[in-house]
């Protein structure tokens, strides 16, 4: 199935049950990819696995498809959460895209003192995550939560769930292995304030981690930290 077009749909998927895709997907299939009635696409919804579906109707803003075979069954994913401070728009988009490719199952934006983005377009973030999941052949799209303040997030964080915090010059080693579920906290451009660092150090569930000897950009830290956590899970 290499090279096949993959599309995410929120609808339930089952054999021989016709589904209508979103108007934007109809435009993409017909006008961009030049597909036609009788062609096939791959569909997934994060619950029912992946299906090979045939296009039965295609107009500029209308596409109907019928799943004809299940190509992959749904598999459980280890929980991998990225807690990050929103950045400038394009950079935030990059973090969402790469976090999806690296298997993050939840994205939790947090506002910190140095956060340089006043708002976050959740609809746009979800669209980017969907496109990344389609491209990298994931069967799920990560949950993207509404932004909260850092202190509010820490106050509500479950005590039994470790939150790995990427803190510059912490001197802490990266964990060689991790449990099934893991969470990574990455701060904003400019880093955490001393008050924020004090609160993080006092929280019993926070584990400072190092990402090497260099000072990384926030987006680089998110990508590197997630990759290392995934590697730790594979090796554990």
Residue 234: the pLDDT is 54
Residue 130: the pLDDT is 97
Among the listed residues 10, 2, 76, 16, the one whose alpha carbon sits nearest the alpha carbon of residue 43: 10
Domain boundaries, the chain: 6-72, 80-235
CATH match for 6-72 among 2.60.40.1170, 3.40.50.510, 2.40.240.20, 1.10.10.10: 2.40.240.20
pLDDT of 156-187, one tens digit each?
999 999 999 998 776 666 665 666 789 999 99
Which portions of the chain are predicted below pLDDT 70? 1-3, 170-179, 233-236
What is the value of pTM for the model shown? 0.91
218 sits in which H/E element: helix 218-235
* 3-state SS, residue 53: strand
Structure tokens at 103: 């298997």
CA distance 23 to 43: 15
* 3-state SS, residue 154: helix
Residue 187: the pLDDT is 94
Residue 2: the pLDDT is 40
* Fold classified for 80-235: Alpha/beta knot (3.40.1280)
On whether the CB atoms of residues 97 and 125 are closer than 8 A, the answer is no
pLDDT of 50-59, one tens digit each?
999 999 999 9
């Amino acid at each position: 199935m290499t090279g096949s077009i993959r599309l995410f749909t929120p609808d339930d998927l089952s054999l021989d049950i016709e589904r209508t895709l979103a108007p934007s997907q109809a435009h993409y299939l017909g006008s961009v990819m030049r597909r036609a009635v009788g062609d096939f696409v791959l569909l997934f919804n994060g619950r029912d696995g992946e299906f090979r579906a045939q296009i039965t109707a295609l107009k500029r803003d209308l596409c109907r498809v019928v799943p004809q075979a299940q190509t992959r069954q749904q598999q459980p994913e280890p929980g991998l959460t990225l807690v990050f401070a929103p950045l400038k728009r394009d950079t935030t988009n990059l973090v969402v895209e790469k976090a999806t490719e690296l298997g993050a199952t939840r994205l939790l934006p947090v506002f910190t003192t140095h956060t340089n983005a006043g708002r976050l377009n959740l609809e746009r973030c979800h669209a980017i995550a969907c496109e990344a999941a389609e491209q990298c052949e994931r069967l799920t799209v990560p949950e993207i939560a509404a932004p909260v303040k850092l202190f509010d997030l820490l106050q509500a964080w479950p005590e039994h769930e470790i939150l790995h915090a990427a803190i510059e010059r912490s001197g802490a080693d990266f964990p060689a292995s991790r449990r099934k579920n893991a969470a990574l906290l990455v701060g904003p451009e400019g880093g955490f304030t001393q008050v924020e660092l004090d609160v993080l150090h006092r929280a019993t569930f926070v584990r400072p981690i190092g990402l090497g000897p260099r000072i990384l950009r926030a987006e680089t830290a998110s990508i590197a930290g997630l990759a290392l956590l995934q590697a730790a899970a594979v090796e554990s």
